[in-house]
Structure 1
Amino acid sequence: MMTADASEPSEHPEPSEPSGGRPEVRIGAGELRGTREAGVAVFRGVPFAEPPVGPLRFAAPRPARGWDGVREAVVYGPPPPQGGHFGMDALARDAAGEDWLTANVWSPDPGPGAGLPVMVWIHGGAYTIGMSGLPEYDGGRLARDGRVVVVTFNYRVGPEGFGRIEGAPGNRGLLDQIAALEWVRENIRAFGGDPDRVTVFGQSAGGGSVAALLAMPRAAGLFHRAVAQSAQGTFFSPGLAADIAAACAAELGLRPTLADLAAVDPARLSAAGDAVGAKAARWADRWGRAAHRSIPFSPVVGDDDLPVTPWQALTDGAGRDVALLVGHTRDEQRLFTAIEGLLGQVTREQADAALRAYAPGPDGARRYREALPAASPEELYERVHSDWLFRMPSLRLARAQTAAGGRAHVYELTWPAPGMGGAFGACHGLDVPLVFGNLDRGQPAVLIGEGPPPEAETLSARMRAAWTAFAAHGDPGWPAYDAGQRLVQLYDARPAVAPYPEEISRLIWQDHAFAALPLTGG
């Protein structure tokens, strides 16, 4: 956790960057002193909102207070309470502290006059885990090679950010994201960024968050371009979210109210959310697809902040003035199949159950089987999971955007990850190290393997160039998507522009509405 240095004010009101020196900037709250890494000025752990603890627990974010003197900005702020997946709860405990809502900035040219494009990253993690300080999200290479200012930040996840708590505002994690974007608007010029050229980009739940922000009236005007990578397509109705919150509170013998939960230790509340997720199948008759997939938290549709789903909002023209880049990987589900120990083990019964649970409409399962008569149980299982959770929600964003007169560019990552003998394919999360250029660090590095091959470096350079060109000019370098040709960028060892390749899935899902998931009954 960072600390304030209240000794002597800095002598440099403008950025100070002598050769080998430490950069300093002045923002609205005070002065910051960062570090210089490989030619990039880096500022970590900068508060964009007050710690949401004590009387501010479960409240909407409030702007951070200022400080005297020069604040050291060299260490990531502590992450918010986490679910236990992949040991993230332990990481959060090791970085103890209450200043959960902090941002980090990488700039190749800090200073009010640089006017560089800004890219604001929203991490994924199923709305349950995630923190900006993970090594795979280091923005140095993207900022340096692309001449952009990169911003990452923490937002509340799990029950703290997305639990439906009576007496508290909903979608607090999304409100944190809006607060971070407001902070960028007010302060990014000091870091060399142009507040009128802000691109928000995110993957998985971060991609779903980007979609949600496009639908939120409060977020209008805070960003000008948007990148949704493998957008998680789950959005909850108020009834479903309230029922899941009640189950989480019941794990603690409490009610899902502000009065009951405000004093509960955040780690205990996160553990209760984990417990409900682990046994969600027992509520399958009430929670439907959310239970089958063990997804206890997602943005809630129906309040003033998020009145309709992103697909409906884009269809209604909400994103018409925001250029959109959206896409997914070919084998989204493969990562989860591996984590579940099912690679090569999926039975016909499991495939049939997946088709019944996730295929759209009354005849969706039949249509999958008829369109793919030679597919193995594992192929059917992975395809319907990939389509429901990531691929078709992402494609539908592009369709809704273009139908309303907006512009969207679509891609699919088809390059198979070389790690583990190629078992992962082009799986969920593979795009993250490629976009950031961090091929040998963090959890996604397992997908690429020890010592990134030259083709990984080449593909990463191409994707970084496309993402930063989109941030700078709104054009990633391939034609916009349209309902006729449906041209998309395929990222492989030899990238190509071609018609969207998942035609079978597109046709099966083309009439699906992607409504908020309901509470299904008794």
Structure 2
Amino acid sequence: MTTSNPVTSAPRAEGPVVRTATGPVRGLRENGLAVFRGIPFAEPPVGQLRFAAPRPATAWDGTRDAYAFGPPPPQDLGIQGRTGVLDAPEGDDWLTVNVWTPDPDPAARRPVMVWIYGGAYKLGHSGSPGYDAQRIARDGDVVVVTLNYRVGMEGFAQIEGAPANRGLLDQVAALEWVRENVTAFGGDPDRVTVFGESAGGGSVASLLAMPRARGLFRRAIAQSVPGTFFSLDLAEDIGRALAAEAGLRPTVADLAATDPRRLPDAGQALSAKMLQHLDRWGRIAPTVTPFSPVVDGDVLPTAPWQALASGSARDVELLVGHNRDEYRLFLVLGEMYGKITEEQATGALRLFAPGGEAGERAYRAAFPEASPTELYERVQTDWLFAMPSLRLAEAQTAGGGRAHLYELTWGAPGNGGILGACHGLDIPLLFGTFEADLANLLFAGAGVTPEAEALSSRFRTVWTSFATTGDPGWPAYDPEARSTQVLDTHPAVTAYPEEKTRQLWEGYEFTPSPLLG
């Protein structure tokens, strides 16, 4: 086993030292903040702990240097537009947290925001430059914690002899670490807000439905919640296919003997041929993402929409929303934008719209001027992100809780504005990281305009105000007024803007995807 954050005995006077439950850590002073990176919240999940639920980290002697991000979990880098090697340390300490705090004074009791990254449940790590949380912590006077969790086969494949949803269990373990340790960093463990985007938003939705996560956070922000949750039967079938790509059985005994850095190859191989399983996996097959939270009846007893509607999170305040043109990103990255045929549009409408052929007719009637590309994009934006996010707000309200809804309609200025308000645009706007990761594409050729900086500041004000008070600055969602914050150059509160789509999906239930045939 290798580690990236050695324990030292020679203190550095200039670095702040905080005592955690497992030992003291020394951070750095950066831009008016105290920053701590790569603190273990669990034991490395390798060897005997491979595919197991996370175990608490072992205490250390001396003071641990918390200067560098921990290594990312093994992951698939073959997603559209992203290939190559991560610029990140190597090692087995995948389960670490990072902390940005204005002042590590236990008496400060600032609000705490815990970030959960996205990445289709198969990639991502908290050390990505786009998740540098200094502007959120400084502008909002909050403590920000980011965490690593297992992705891909390590975290989400259904494996015989292993608990389901290990990636979600990692997130719970990190939140338990926050509850036990954040006071020492100047945070208030009674004012914790979890926030995440895409698979991170799906993770937040899952945590709202998980008994193990109850009481670990007071507020939740779910950005672009995916509607993809697997039934146990479907997850087991996909697990068998994943293991077969590696020439193994889907058991702990077989898979644990394989180098964890080799298993992402099996996920990439299956992603490339998922459409061959359309008759068994249905709508999941075109997503080329063989991982999602599994409604297993234990770790995740029910899907988030059913859980929230029954009141499981009525004591948690929720902020949830989506971007107007979510699916545009994938069309542009796949060089398909403007090239969708009528036949492809028909296939997508019949597969994803409620009611099959009737759904296709309904979409065409609602959007009579739409081109094949626009229809193809619209129905997949709706099915994958927009309607799941809207329905989460509706479910929370139905269950007796409070939810606030937003939609981002401001378009990315890069590449001639072709990307619109696409998936992932909210990340650089929220973090203010305009020269990292996806932002290079979103702002290419346009730079960061004053209106982008203004909207970015607005994002941080809303998110941190909600984390501090529970009030983002506009009325809570209700079935009559449907108040929605539209985030654009001139933000405004209106009735939910996508009314045609909302009506098309009225009565549709987001339930775990079944195994067909």
Alignment TM-score, normalising by the size of structure 1: 0.96
Task: Choose 74-83 or 263-272, whichever is displaced more.
Answer: 263-272
- Secondary structure in 1 matching 2:295: coil
Other-structure match for 1:507: 503
Give the letter aligned to residue 25 of structure 1.
Answer: V
- The answer as to whether partners of 1:226 and 1:324 remain within 8 angstroms in 2 is yes
- The answer as to whether partners of 2:16 and 2:34 remain within 8 angstroms in 1 is yes
Other-structure match for 1:191: 185
Other-structure match for 2:231: 237
Equivalent in 65, 69, 72 of residue 65 of structure 2: 72
Other-structure match for 1:4: 6
| Distance in 2 (alpha carbons) for counterparts of 1:89 and 1:443 | 13
| Distance in 2 (alpha carbons) for counterparts of 1:36 and 1:356 | 55
Equivalent in 210, 216, 222 of residue 216 of structure 2: 222
1:135 aligns with 2:137: no
| Distance in 1 (alpha carbons) for counterparts of 2:88 and 2:316 | 39
Other-structure match for 2:457: 461
- The answer as to whether partners of 1:78 and 1:92 remain within 8 angstroms in 2 is no
Equivalent in 197, 203, 213 of residue 209 of structure 1: 203
Other-structure match for 1:323: 317
| Distance in 1 (alpha carbons) for counterparts of 2:287 and 2:70 | 31
State the shift of 1:519 in Å. 0.5
State the shift of 1:93 in Å. 8.4
1:404 aligns with 2:380: no
Give the letter aligned to residue 419 of structure 1.
Answer: G
| Distance in 2 (alpha carbons) for counterparts of 1:444 and 1:426 | 13
| Distance in 2 (alpha carbons) for counterparts of 1:371 and 1:392 | 16
State the shift of 1:85 in Å. 2.5
State the shift of 1:440 in Å. 2.5
- The answer as to whether partners of 1:25 and 1:111 remain within 8 angstroms in 2 is no
1:52 aligns with 2:45: yes
| Distance in 2 (alpha carbons) for counterparts of 1:457 and 1:306 | 39
| Distance in 2 (alpha carbons) for counterparts of 1:90 and 1:420 | 23
Matches within 5 A, 1:162-181: 162-181=156-175
- The answer as to whether partners of 1:420 and 1:447 remain within 8 angstroms in 2 is yes
How has the CA–CA distance of structure 1 residues 277 and 211 changed in structure 2, closer, same or farther, with 3 Å as cutoff? same
Alignment TM-score, normalising by the size of structure 2: 0.97
| Distance in 2 (alpha carbons) for counterparts of 1:143 and 1:220 | 25
Deviations 1:323-367 (A, max 9, x none): 000000000000000011111111111111110111112421111
Other-structure match for 1:470: 466
Other-structure match for 1:498: 494
Unaligned runs of 5+ in 1: none
Give the letter aligned to residue 158 of structure 2.
Answer: R
Give the alignment's Cα RMSD to 1 decimal.
1.4
- The answer as to whether partners of 1:2 and 1:74 remain within 8 angstroms in 2 is no
Other-structure match for 1:386: 381
1:343 aligns with 2:337: yes
- The answer as to whether partners of 1:127 and 1:162 remain within 8 angstroms in 2 is yes
Matches within 5 A, 1:216-365: 216-362=210-356, 363-365=358-360
| Distance in 1 (alpha carbons) for counterparts of 2:43 and 2:28 | 24
- Secondary structure in 2 matching 1:267: coil
Equivalent in 415, 429, 436 of residue 441 of structure 1: 436
| Distance in 2 (alpha carbons) for counterparts of 1:226 and 1:93 | 30
Aligned pairs, how many?
A: 512
Percent identity for Structure 1 against Structure 2: 63
| Distance in 2 (alpha carbons) for counterparts of 1:189 and 1:168 | 33
Equivalent in 77, 84, 87 of residue 77 of structure 2: 84
| Distance in 2 (alpha carbons) for counterparts of 1:144 and 1:85 | 35
How has the CA–CA distance of structure 1 residues 88 and 42 changed in structure 2, closer, same or farther, with 3 Å as cutoff? farther
State the shift of 1:446 in Å. 2.2
Unaligned runs of 5+ in 2: none
